[in-house]
A and B are shown apart, each in its own frame.
Chain A
Amino acid sequence: MYVIEIAGLRKTYRAKGRRDRAVVAVDGVDLSVAEGDVFGVLGQSGAGKSTLLRCVNMLERPDEGTVKVGGVDLTALDRRGLREARHGIGMIHQHFALLSSRTVAGNVAFALEVTGVPRNERRERVAELLELVGLGGRADAYPSQLSGGQKQRVGIARALAARPKVLLSDEATSALDPETTDSILRLLLDLNQRLNLTILLITHEMNVVKRICRSAAVMRDGRFVESGAITDLLDRPDSELARGLFPLDAPTSLDGHTVVDVTVSGDGADAPLLAEVARRFDIDVRIMAGSVEQLAATRAGRFRLAVPAGDDAPLNYLSERGARIGRPTAPSPIEIQGAAS
């Protein structure tokens, strides 16, 4: 069952009174997120990720298309209906967006006030939520007294106050250092599993996709260039996501050799495939670059191999054993980001 269903979404920003200065931020996006999935939208700055996400809870009104959350078409709701629907959609923000004038407990209580939870139930629920995100002891601190990671935990507690089915995350870890990022990602994954929380996140960090996403889309110029389950995307030859997850920093040709990029996933990731090929065909298989990694979705690896030119049999054999063989490609923009993060 899909919790989020987006069809034909379009959003154009127009400079006031000037048609020529229109920016098409989202240009026809279809997106379905299954219940309990962690879906990552990956793209460079200006790709339209934030706009897409802000259309999911109608912070931006799309020009075209429908946005269904939990089966309800948000584009058709009146103001009151939309407020109700928003209670079921949590959101966390890159710069936390906490109320500086309220304590940690006060920030979480604000979400409860907005949802209409009676005063006498709030205190207990606040404590419960802070416990859930591991901030039990900091209830009376002000946001300015917290570290970035702690602030994001408050943001998460607040987002979960109304017991939403869906959590939207706009670059929630981009302002954090790597270790803190890790701990926040672990928390999100934990909440995803414990509460069956569906998470739609946008990011420009490959690492985030690696760590927690089971599905992903690559966004460029307002469109999805590929999207789906990560295991499926890894199966596609020349998948941008695969190239981003496993950047291969090596030449794309070698004298007297055929150079290929090989992707393996699932059980194949740990099978001694390369040794097998070398032995079976009695050739030297040269690994020019590559790695095997544990992703949230699956175990997978990618290599750039050079095999002696002229004989396709070794490569055909790799294919038969479940590896995907592709032409070596120059780094994609996303791949460069993957290498940097």
Chain B
Amino acid sequence: MTWSELSELLAVGLQETAWMVFVSTVLTAVGGLLLGILLVLTAPGGMLAAPAVSSVLGFIVNVTRSLPFIILLVAVIPFTRAVVGTTIGTDAAIVPLTIGAIPFFARIVEAALREVPPDVVAAATAMGATRRQIVGKVLLREARPGLVAGLTITVIALVGYSAMAGVVGGGGLGDLAIRYGYQRFDTQVMIATVIALIVFVQLVQTAGDILVRRLSHR
């Protein structure tokens, strides 16, 4: 394989990975944040304590998280068809990636929100803050560094999951590494894709770290 062929392969793979990870990250950020907030609010002793809702949500999250991603990928195929209209390709891969990542990120959001000292929430309550103000201006705002750090972890997990997107024809760098390196013993392509993945992950982590440092005033 020539250099230009290789770089062509890598460029396409990188583009596919970036797209899958980007879209599913945006969807996961929104979905995971909402689910995480709901987990905190409905928990016993929470602001909207609802034990039944809380245990159902917790159960769904745990079930989703215990499935191996490859099985989730196949299991949601009918849903994917309903949402995207097709079951193969990069866009089709985004659906299982998002479904797999939302519960993961939701737990991180839950943990980050619980890190906000109860004292601070009590102080806001004592000032006469509304529940909306407490969620928006106290919990989410105070937890911001933790949320960004958690999102960074999620993005990187998504990069890992996306390697399996090849199963539904999603492509991407991981798929490249598996097809060329694992199935065809093409070491050159494998090493190149792995290096590209490492650089990608490093960039994401570094960007996340910088943002966290900027947001953190503890």
Residue ranges of A at the interface with B (Cβ–Cβ < 8 Å): 54, 57, 59, 82-87, 89, 91, 93, 95, 97-102, 110-111, 113-115, 142-144, 158, 161-162, 168
Contacts and interface: CB of A to CB of B under 8 A. Distances in A.
Interface in B182-218: 215, 217-218
Given A89-B126, A162-B127, 16 more contacts: A57-B126, A59-B126, A83-B130, A84-B128, A95-B117, A97-B119, A97-B122, A99-B142, A101-B141, A111-B127, A114-B127, A114-B133, A115-B127, A143-B217, A158-B127, A168-B126
Contacts of A143: 217
B124 interface: yes
Interface of B: 117, 119-120, 122-130, 133, 137-138, 141-142, 144, 215, 217-218
Nearest to B126: A91
Nearest to B217: A142
Interface of B is mostly: helix
A162 B122 CA distance: 17
B127 A101 contact: no
Nearest to A94: B119
A114 B129 CA distance: 5
Contact of A91 (B117, B123, B218): B123
Nearest to B120: A97
B114 to A, nearest CB: 15
A93 B215 contact: no
B157 to A, nearest CB: 26
A161 B122 CA distance: 17
Contacts of B217: 100-101, 142-144
Given A142-B217, A144-B218, A86 B120 contact: no
Contacts of A87: 127-128
A54 B127 CA distance: 13
B142 A100 contact: yes
A141 B214 CA distance: 15
In order of increasing CB-CB distance, the 3 nearest A-B pairs are A86-B128, A97-B123, A83-B128
A270 B141 CA distance: 57
A86 B119 contact: no
Contacts of A115: 127-128
Given A86-B127, A100-B218, A101-B144, A113 B119 contact: no
A161 B138 CA distance: 18
Contacts of B125: 59, 86
Contacts of B138: 99
Contacts of A95: 117, 119
A70 B171 CA distance: 69
A102 B141 CA distance: 9
B142 A110 contact: no
B141 A99 contact: yes
The interface centre, meaning the residue of A83, A84, A89, A97 with most chain B CB atoms within 10 A of its CB, is A97
Nearest to B143: A101
A97 B117 contact: yes
Nearest to A80: B130
Given A100-B142, A101-B215, A86 B126 contact: yes
B127 A99 contact: no
A98 B217 CA distance: 12
A307 B137 CA distance: 67
B168 to A, nearest CB: 41
The interface centre, meaning the residue of B122, B128, B130, B144 with most chain A CB atoms within 10 A of its CB, is B128
A113 B123 contact: no
Contacts of A93: 119, 122-123
A265 B218 CA distance: 48
Nearest to B140: A101
A82 B122 CA distance: 14
Contacts of A101: 141-142, 144, 215, 217
Nearest to B127: A114
A95 B138 CA distance: 17
Contacts of A113: 133, 137
A59 B130 CA distance: 14
Contacts of B127: 86-87, 91, 110-111, 114-115, 158, 161-162
Contacts of B142: 99-101
Contacts of B119: 93, 95, 97
